[in-house]
Amino acid sequence: MRQIVLDTETTGLNARTGDRIIEIGGVELVNRRLTGNNLHFYINPERDSDPGALAVHGLTTEFLSDKPKFAEIADQLRDFLQDAELIIHNAPFDLGFLNAEFALLGLPPFTETCGEVIDTLVKAKSMFPGKRNSLDALCDRFGISNAHRTLHGALLDSELLAEVYLAMTRGQESLVIDMLGETQTAGGDASGPRVALESLSLPVLAASDDELAAHQAVLDNLDKAIKGTSVWRREPAPAEAADAA
């Protein structure tokens, strides 16, 4: 599966009132692996940034004055993103700007050139309701260092969001995959090479005396609550044990 983690920086907050894209960053993932095949553009928006936006991204009119205009990078951008699944934080914002830029060039909407879109802000809100779910907050939550992020930057933010996305979606299966590398095709071909799990050298952590005592106390409370023996203390019946063997 090919995915692109995408971010933009803009002159302001509203594409419908003339704000433009000034930076685009895209980070490629293939089968949940960073490939290093990234895309990055600074773009001359042919207008100044709003003071509030400038304070966020720090990209001055002077710095952008000799950069290519959006029309000059549109084809390369479209080719890079063609049919890829996009991962974007607060996707309506970036997609709205990209659609507006394509409309200015008389092109079909940008969203017709890409595949599905995953909005990590929506995903984060469902995972952590009532909490702050900005990119910085998610980096803190997942232990991802963003100490070098003093200003917003499209490529840097895409790289951080890629790490956040992988952390958000990492389950037991992907933990093994990340340790051993991909051994099956993206389609899950059962005839492909398989991982010999018995060959893994996994650490065995024995419970401490305090942990065993705490576990015993929990079981005692369960027995007391049900006025009997909880299921966690029961040994399997002989027949069940034989079947299991």
Annotated binding-site members for a divalent metal cation: 7, 9, 157
Q: How buried is residue 96: exposed, middle or buried, by Cβ count under 10 Å (0-12/13-18/19+)? A: middle
Which residue of the set 40, 89, 148, 152 is catalytic? 152
Task: Identify whether the C-beta of residue 7 lies closer than 8 Å to the C-beta of residue 154.
Answer: yes
CB-count burial class (<10 Å; 0-12, 13-18, 19+) for 135: buried
> Which of 88, 118, 93, 113 is closest to 102 using CA atoms?
113
Write out the DSSP string of 116-151. Answer: -EEEHHHHHHHHSTTS--SHHHHHHHTT---TT-SS
- Binding-site residues for substrate: 7, 9, 57, 157
Q: Which residues are annotated as part of the binding site?
A: 7, 9, 57, 157
Look at residues 115, 154, 156, 172 and name the one whose alpha carbon lies nearest to residue 1.
Answer: 115
152 belongs to the catalytic site: yes
- Give the catalytic positions in this structure: 152
